[in-house]
Structure 1
Amino acid sequence: MSASDVRVKKVAVELDKPRHLCYDMNAFADLEEKFGSVQKAFDALKSEKLSAVRYILWAGLTHEDDKLTERGVGKLFTLGDIPALVRPMMDAITSSLPKADEAKNE
């Protein structure tokens, strides 16, 4: 994935206050560094593994608050919130990736 592939889109999510998930180049770099690839991060999110949900949520929120920590993000949601958070996180990630036909053309 190159910088020109990222199409940043913010997705609203309600946590301690209204926030916006945004998977920009910094977030994708963090995900790649932690999971090895964005696809592996996406797979971990689908599994709803707690540490993956917390990390991926953190990566999507840091554009609004770069002082936010993973542990701080962990205080913003409960186990019961995970199903409601996974869908917006997946939407924010997939909407920021290049469309399939764009990727084929390159």
Structure 2
Amino acid sequence: MYDLSAIKPKKVPVMLSDCKQRHLLFDLNALAELEDVYGGHADALKEVQTGSFRAIRATLWAGLLHEDPNLTIKDVGAMIAVDGMSIISDAIVDAFNIAVPTASVADQPPDVCSKDAPQDF
């Protein structure tokens, strides 16, 4: 189960067939786009893990929108070499796991020493 309050966007580098390094980021906007396509972001990730070309293309697209909001799913499909699909799907899974940790990670107490932690005194 995912704890959406634990979302911590972090970019994961990925090299596509156009030899330009890009960065996957599954922020709230990307996750919302995946909900529009799949009904839920977890469903998209499951499809990526099965090797679905359609899911890899759509999920990669959603993760790249922060760099170029004008990208289309077909634009992203043209940037994917079929022989690099496993590397891309691994990067997607890594970026997803960073952005939306599992419940066991999310259930850990917050770092109260963090500069972002609320100060109650």
Q: What do you get for the CA RMSD once the two structures are aligned?
A: 1.8
Partner of residue 21, structure 2: 18
Structure 2, gaps ≥5 residues long: 110-121
Q: Larger Rg: 1 or 2?
A: 2
For the pair 1:28 / 2:31, whether they are aligned, the reply is yes
Runs of 5+ consecutive residues of structure 1 not aligned to the other structure: none
- Alignment size in residue pairs: 105
TM-score relative to the length of structure 1 = 0.89
Q: Which has the higher helix share?
A: 1
Give the SS at the match of 2:104: helix
1:83 to 2:86 alignment: yes
Shift of 1:5: 2.7
Deviation of the 1:60 alpha carbon: 0.4
C-alpha displacement at 1:78, in angstroms? 1.8
Aligned-residue identity in percent: 36
For residue 68 of structure 1, give the secondary structure of its aligned residue in structure 2: coil
SS of the residue 1:64 aligns to: coil
- Structure 2 counterpart of 1:7: 8
Residue number in structure 2 paired with 1:44: 47
Aligned-partner SS, 1:84: helix
Scaled by the length of structure 2, the TM-score of the pair is 0.79
Displacement of 1:81 in angstroms is 1.2
